[in-house]
Structure 1
Amino acid sequence: MSDVETNETREERIKNEILVDAEDKEDRAMGWYYYLDDCLNFPFNAKWAKKGRKGTAPEKDVEVLAMATEEECLRDMLVEVVEVGGKDEDVDIARLTDLKVLDADEDTQEALDDWYYWVAKGYKF
């Protein structure tokens, strides 16, 4: 069990808005996907510490451009990012949980906080 304190407001939003009709893993993943796609106002800036098998790479300043495809988000919520000052064709895919948001509007921050809360609580699709 997670040691993250339960936030009743967030729990209600997750239950009644994000996962309202979800019956299985795919439904839960798509509930999160569409909620985040609707609520995140792209682009926004973040620091990305890419985690891999060899540890964590140094942080990069990135611009978060969009959600990855539905198919890519069936196991985790992923977004398209490009390094600040980089070329638009140099788009990478990042896990939302690997990002530290630097500037986002209120709606975007609330949706991201909902996702981070879900993950920190140890909930699964």
Structure 2
Amino acid sequence: MAKRQKDEEREYRIMMEAVVDAYCPEEQAIGWYCYLQDRIAFPFKARCIRERSISPLRKGEEVIAESMASEDDCMHEMFVMVKWKGRSMGLPLAQLEPINADEDTIESIGDWRYWVDRGYEFG
């Protein structure tokens, strides 16, 4: 996948709000977790925008995102707990696009997807 074009406004927000004062991979993961936990209004409806080998969702399928997964589960990638086909499970947040969510939810999930699409990693 080609890297997404650099967005200076998003870069600044991420550096000043999500990973500010994070000096190691664990601190960056915790920073992202707290940033998303504070800004995402759960529950919200979401659509799968990309398939992943670790997820049962197919592009276009919809789920209800209920909460962030545990902090321990988000030390390498951000996951959300969803309700899908009568089951609860964790899915990669970068796989989802919010539907009819509030502005902060849309922006913060967009920030995470931007981070992933740019090829950034904790570290």
**What stretches of structure 2 of length at least 5 have no aligned partner?**
none
TM-score, normalising length: structure 2:
0.86
Alignment-derived partner of residue 114 in structure 2: 117
Instruction: Tell me the residue number matched to 1:76.
Output: 77
For 2:44, the aligned partner's letter is F
Contact preservation (8 Å) 1:50, 1:94: no
Inter-partner Cα distance in structure 1 for 2:65 and 2:37: 12
SS across alignment from 1:81: strand
Query: Secondary structure of the equivalent of 1:21?
Result: coil
Aligned alpha-carbon RMSD (Å) = 2.0
Q: What percentage of aligned pairs have identical amino acids?
A: 38
Aligned partners of 2:18 and 2:35 also within 8 Å: yes
Q: Which runs of 5+ in 1 are unaligned?
A: none
1:1-125 alignment runs, 5 A limit: 3-48=3-48, 51-52=52-53, 57-58=57-58, 59-83=60-84, 86-87=85-86, 90-125=87-122
Q: Which runs of 4+ in 1 moved over 6 A?
A: none
How many aligned residue pairs are there? 119
Alignment check: 8 A CA contact 2:18 2:31 kept: yes
In 2: Cα distance, 1:29 partner to 1:123 partner: 12
Q: Structure 1-normalised TM-score?
A: 0.85
Question: Does the 8 Å CA contact 2:10/2:111 hold for their aligned counterparts?
Answer: yes
Aligned equivalents of 1:101, 1:110: Cα separation in 2: 10
Contact 1:36–1:112 (8 Å) recurs in 2: yes
Offset, 1:60: 3.1
- Return the index of the structure with the highest Cα Rg: 1
